[in-house]
Amino acid sequence: MDFMSGFTAAKQAYDLLKLIKESHDQAIISGAIGDLHGKITELQMLNAKLSGLYQSERDVAVKLREEKAKIEMFTVKAENYELHTTEGGSTVYRSKKPTGSTIPHHHLCTHCYSNSVISILQPGISTTKSAGYFVHYCPQCKNEYRMGKLPPVKPVSVRFPY
Ligand SMILES: [Zn+2]
């Protein structure tokens, strides 16, 4: 958009008004009134364009503010986690534990973490184990992770009725 054309149109409209006011020739006045109508329409169109532009700039500013708040919140939360490789060989983020704490660790999805999303892994529902390890999944992106080793299977004693 050419902002200068707005100034030019406004200046021309002003000159036309001056001409209408100062002229004593009816033909010149009529011509100037016609031109003035054209200039007013031009300025109105420019005004509509500018308010559209202003609105879209405001929308962008709002989105950027929201994005910034999300990243700030993520940064605060992310400090409580560190990279960890599970027994099953998966790389996840694990909650840091203050020494002596008995609260068990919880784990985050690394894929979501790289997108600034904190997503806590949950035990699998359709797949609960794989190759001797428990499987946890990410509720956000549905990635699956091999976690701790499955407990050894106890031998089943079969008692015969004789
Ligand atoms: Zn995920």
Domain locations in the chain as residue ranges:
3-75, 80-149
Residues near 46 by Cβ (< 8 Å), separated by ≥ 6?
5, 6, 9
Query: How far is ligand 1, taken at its centre, from the CA of residue 92, in Å?
Result: 10
Across 124-137, average pLDDT: 94
Across 97-101, average pLDDT: 84
Q: What percent of the chain has pLDDT over 70?
A: 97
Query: How far is ligand 1, taken at its centre, from the CA of residue 114, in Å?
Result: 9
Query: How far is ligand 1, taken at its centre, from the CA of residue 108, in Å?
Result: 8
- Residue 57's alpha-carbon distances to 6, 60, 63, 109, 151, in angstroms, are 19, 5, 10, 35, 58
- Tell me what the pLDDT averaged over the chain comes to: 92
Across 137-159, average pLDDT: 89
Query: How far is ligand 1, taken at its centre, from the CA of residue 79, in Å?
Result: 18
pTM of structure: 0.63
Across 10-15, average pLDDT: 93
Inter-residue contact 108 to 137 (CB < 8 Å): no
| Count of alpha carbons within 13 angstroms of residue 39, beta-carbon side | 19
Beta bridge pairs of residue 84: 92
pLDDT at 153: 79
Query: How far is ligand 1, taken at its centre, from the CA of residue 104, in Å?
Result: 20
Tell me the H-state helices in the chain.
Answer: 3-22, 26-78, 110-114
pLDDT at 95: 95
Query: How far is ligand 1, taken at its centre, from the CA of residue 48, in Å?
Result: 44
Confidence of residue 97 (pLDDT cuts 50, 70, 90): confident
